[in-house]
Each structure stands twice: as structure tokens, then as C-alpha cells.
Chain A
Amino acid sequence: MKKDITSGAPRIREPLNDTQLLMTITICIFVAMYAAAMIFMRGGFLKAQQFFDLLNDNAYLIIISCSLTIVMIGGGINISVGGVISLTVMACAMYLESSSSTSILTTLLLALGIGLAFGLLQGFLISYLEIQPFIVTLAGMFLARGLTTILSVNPVKVTHERFLNLVKTKVEIAWLGYTAKNGALIPAKLEIGAVVALMVVVLVYLMLRYTRLGRNIYAIGGNQQSALMLGINVKLTRFWSYVLSGSLSGLAGFVFLMHKPAGNASVALRSEMDAIASSIIGGTLLTGGVGNVIGSFFGTMILGTIQKIIALSPLNASWWQEMANGAMLGLFIMLQSVILMRRHNKKH
């Protein structure tokens, strides 16, 4: 019986079609927006480096969007991701600063360990003690933010030599580069964090699409009762979705540290809301069962592009940024709601 679900029985086709539709719209809007920016803003947007910077700056956000997409498809929510990032960044920065001989691998393990610990705890409370996910992850956010300030109230700058070398290491793509004014060719640069983020997107996509766990997550988000009757272990699946989500936020913390090598109590403030917004723009429904990480990736890119456009335009940056985000989110939410309502009305 379990085999039938994993091999893609036609009954799970329907939500996937909704997913694809919403994702296509998101991708189209991103392409249109970027093209418009290229035409009207010119300047930086014509260079490939601008696109790569978008990836570099938003690498951690891409990873936590994936992490949120997983739990949202399963019908849950995780608002502790921003807090876990700040805790991971602070803990890793302090660990790296503790002595110059600390290895980078153990730092990465520390980051993943913190994320995993949060994932395990929250997953247990949510799936086995049946406490509302919003409350549990809200407490998780408070805990992570509080532990960050307990570790250190002051910013911790990383001076660890090998880690800084790793931060400086970039993937250079020469043919996408541009010629500077003095005639030297400057290759387009992609940070390691961005590469990691892209890999995470692909891996999570494959995981959700082709593994039993991934299919089960869609099933419990779509209809918990039928999933239970199909013999899916609902509690275990939900538990794993939170463990995955927690570990990914630990990884996102490490990627953040590679982008900005300093621990700070206010790191990634409100980033959980940005990640939720990205997932929603990408076509994930909070009700569960519908969603796709590729869409979330483009959702993050849309928010990043808005940020870049506003930063380059003569508007008062932070306030206009929030307004534009809000307006964009409103537009997408309305659009999705109207499309889904029309489709469902047609069917009945």
C-alpha cells in the first residue's frame, strides 16, 4: 500500500498541478521584473555579477525558505528559523574565536548540531505532544534569541585565519565577467554559500519529489486523515519534517557566517517572516499539501530583486523596502487566492 503513494498514484496529481501553476506565475513575474529592471535601471542590472550578488546576499534566506517550505507543505509552520540562525552565527563565531586551531569542519558540525537540536526538540513537542506548531516555534524563537544574548551581547568579529580564507574563496566564472574601466577583466564571482544554497534547493526538491518521506510530507499536509488511513506514520513524518527544517536553519546560520563573518544579537532579525513570504510568493499554501522549493527559491529572488531596485533608486531605502514587500506580498496572495478559487469553482 505504501508503494502506491511513492510511485505517484493519480490521486496526488491534483495538488501538484496547483503547485506547478503557482510556481510558473512566480517564475514569470521574476523574469518580467528582472527584465524591467534591466531595461529601466540599466547600470548594474546589465551585469551578470548583479544576479550573482542576488544569490550571494540571499543565500541564507534561500536555505531557510526551503526549510519553511518543507514544514509548510506538511501543514505546519516554523518561526524559529531566524532565531536559530542568530544563535548558530553567534556560537560558531565564538567557537572560532576561542582558539586559532579550531577546525572549520567541527564549526560546521556545531552549526548543524544546534539546528538539529532545535529541530528534534520542536519536532517532538509538535508531533508527539500535539502542541500547536506556532506556539512551539515561537517559544523556540524566544529561546534561540535569548541564548544568543546570553552567549554575548556584544558583536563578535571572526578573525580566524583559515575561516576568513574560506570566506574569501569564490567561484569565478570568467566568461560572465565584465571589463572594468582600466581594461582588466573582472570575472563574475559566486560565493560558496550561494553554491551551497543552490545545492540545498536541488536536494530538497529531489527529496520532496522522489523519496518516500517527501511524498509522505505532501500526503500529511494534504489530508491528515486519509494519510493516516493509507498507513503513513503521520507523527513520524511530521517529526522528520521539523528535524529537517531545524538542521537546514543551522546550515543557513553557517552560510550567513560565511557571508558576514561576525556574530551579532540582531542577526537575521525578522528573517522568518521574509522566508514565509518567499514561500508564499513561490506558491506554497500555509494549509499544507501544496508547494515547491523551486517556487520558494524564485520567491526569495523576487524579494531580493525588489530590495536591489529600491536600493538603487532614490527612495528612502528601508521604509520603501517594507512598503514594496508588503504590496508585492498582497498582490501575490490575492492573485493566488483568485486563481485557486476560479479553478475549484470550475471543477465543481
Chain B
Amino acid sequence: MPSALINVPKKARRGDVIEIKTLMSHIMETGYRHTASGDVVARDIITSFTCRFNGQEVFRADLFPAIAANPFITFFTTATESGKFEFEWIGDKGFSETAQASITVE
């Protein structure tokens, strides 16, 4: 099972508004729960998501404990030129994942 799912259109016309969808498998443990013996279950969440296009940041989100498991993030951007989207998720316990997808703009 891939941990990151990405949906970026393969092709777009210059100036088109395109939708980008991402899903990262993650437990998103809030840090507010307790075990049966009363111990706190340590927080384990994704804290930040970034999308860069050809090296330049186009979207960023901070994530918090209220966000459910397997965060699904979708956003829009404008297709300006052909290139590469890079996605990065960073979180607690040294969590770090990346993914990428290319687009051809005509």
C-alpha cells in the first residue's frame, strides 16, 4: 500500500485552473487519549504539508490534532508551465515523506 496518493492532471493548457489531490496514510494520534492503564498516548501527527512547483512553494498547510487520520488535502493552482510538483509531509517522531508528479502544459 503506498503511503502517499497524488492526483495531478498529466496535461493542462496554460492558464487552466487545475485541482491537485493528495492523501497521506497517517494515524494522526491526537495526544489527548489515554490507555486503559491511564497513560497518555503520545501525540503523533503530521504537522506540515508543502507543495512546491519547480522549486517554488505554491501551497502550504499546518496540521493539528483535530485533523482525522489519513489527511486528504486538495487544492487548486494555475498551470503556468510544464514542470514538476513536489510534495512534502513532516510530522512528529521524525515523520517525513515526499512524493512528486509531473505536468505538461501546452
**Chain A complexes with chain B:** no
Chain A residues with a Cβ under 8 A of chain B: none
Interface residues of B (CB under 8 A from A): none
